[in-house]
Structure 1
């Protein structure tokens, strides 16, 4: 009996060592999600070389971008007449990403659509571009067996954000169960996990005051209070807020030292979620604050390092 017990214990220890070695050997992936402010407006260099240099220095595997105004996938003929668009392909290649997708090309009439985009060191496959019923559109894509959603929710309507999140979650639900998902972007909404940071009502009161100047600002909920329902839907779906795994305390993603027109008080609108089956793969998640990100956008980027 003792011999059998000892063998069982030794087998368990051996399996544990193998499992730990396997985890340690997994590749670390680096993902950055960044609202770059009006097509990187603050970078006046050719092909946005300052942004490219900053991204290259971070050496990410994948970059999710929001507010890519004025960017075309690679073909200038898609740009409005007289416009001088930035080439997303050329831009991404300058920091080592040969694979790129943008949710839509610049509109022929020159209107601003705040498109989202994704770039990668590795092939991007099974891409879907959704622009209907989504204010800035959303992308779904697969990279090395992982599924990505990149979006930018409506900036001034809690109701429209509700439709957007329902559409995205329904899209994910329609796919086979058990897949690994990463969901990111500027979601223009507050999380119940940050509720204590907003209990002073400064953000709520700012929105109420701003509404007097901009009646289209309908960012509060039906009770004229901060609306936590958008983020609650994401959490109830089973997604894990990656930042909260490594930083339980509140960390704002806006405003930067540049400015932010939706609040002068700290808030978090930029998120990076992973499906529950990826929670143990998270190595680090943080809001990236440095001399560059302080001034080149009104949002700070979010970094996720995870193992696969």
Structure 2
């Protein structure tokens, strides 16, 4: 059958117009074809590993007699941490710690210097720091709560003496009040946050070390029992599984080996830990009575493909 050429051309034109109308209607109505055409670029997780060191530097690193603490700065550069948490940052001001931190590549510095306290905690970082809280009221050396790359980091230093102060009859009562204030002001104050690290000099021992400490079951474990009951995990025990003392160092040998320095992590951090260790070398053997602790952990972001 022979069709009129004009009829064929007209029929094809109407078919093309009808197809275009159907596609346009589908996009406007949010149908499957329209959703596909408007799909966002795919994303994938970008993973970085950060290194954090927590270090009680003994009264402002007083055993480093160099001007500007160049020995300390050289050691930090050799370790290359992304975050450095300090206890006993004695005699440092915000400005002097900024100068020191700049010498090892950390442009971000947080201190909690307060009246009447000569043993403040501090933190320096390669990455921007969001300061959430500085807890200084009713406690001895206080705590800093910051957020870096999506991880909440708490740096603290508990009361060091057996005798009490600030209205408390004994040292343990004071430490219990301090750890309660720190937990209430950080972990419990932000129930929607799941990624937490808490570290520092706790000046108290853990029930997880009862079999490794002189005195064993007769020691007071109240502080760490409370921390462990709050949902934190002892990262050294979780990762290493055995007792590693944090003090005294080689230069202060003579007393019983103990562990009063800790890094705790929330459950959400456990699977992202890639390293936990006590750093022992020529510098740390001789520059403080405490060994530093180091951990490495994964953080996540997104990148466009």
Report the Cα distance in structure 2 between the residues aligned to 1:189 and 1:291, rounded to whole angstroms. Answer: 26
TM-score normalised by the chain length of structure 1: 0.76
Matched, 1:245 2:259: no
Q: Structure 2 residue aligned with 1:100, among 109, 113, 138?
A: 109
Matched, 1:193 2:208: yes
1:126 shift after superposition: 2.9
Report the Cα distance in structure 2 between the residues aligned to 1:149 and 1:133, rounded to whole angstroms. Answer: 17
Number of aligned positions between the proteins:
246
**Cα contact 1:256–1:294 (8 A) shared by 2:** yes
Q: Which has the larger radius of gyration?
A: 2
Residue of structure 2 in register with 1:32 after alignment: 53
What per-residue deviation string (whole Å, max 9, x for no partner) do you get for residues 245-287 of structure 1? 2211100000001227xx8000000000111111100111011
1:132 shift after superposition: 1.1
Report the Cα distance in structure 2 between the residues aligned to 1:274 and 1:246, rounded to whole angstroms. Answer: 11
1:112 shift after superposition: 5.3
Residue of structure 2 in register with 1:277 after alignment: 268
Q: Which structure 1 residue ranges, 4+ long, deviate > 4 Å from structure 2?
A: none
What per-residue deviation string (whole Å, max 9, x for no partner) do you get for residues 140-183 of structure 1? 11112211110100001111100011011111201132431110
Report the Cα distance in structure 2 between the residues aligned to 1:244 and 1:162, rounded to whole angstroms. Answer: 22
Q: 1:114 to 1:251 in 2, by over 3 A?
A: same
1:46 shift after superposition: 1.2
Please give the root-mean-square deviation of Cα atoms over the aligned residues, in Å. Answer: 1.7
Residue of structure 1 in register with 2:134 after alignment: 129
Unmatched runs of 5 consecutive residues or more in structure 2: 1-43, 162-170, 300-305
Report the Cα distance in structure 1 between the residues aligned to 2:121 and 2:88, rounded to whole angstroms. Answer: 6
Residue of structure 1 in register with 2:86 after alignment: 65
**Cα contact 2:91–2:118 (8 A) shared by 1:** no
Residue of structure 2 in register with 1:258 after alignment: 251
Secondary structure of the residue aligned to 2:89 is coil
Matched, 1:163 2:207: no
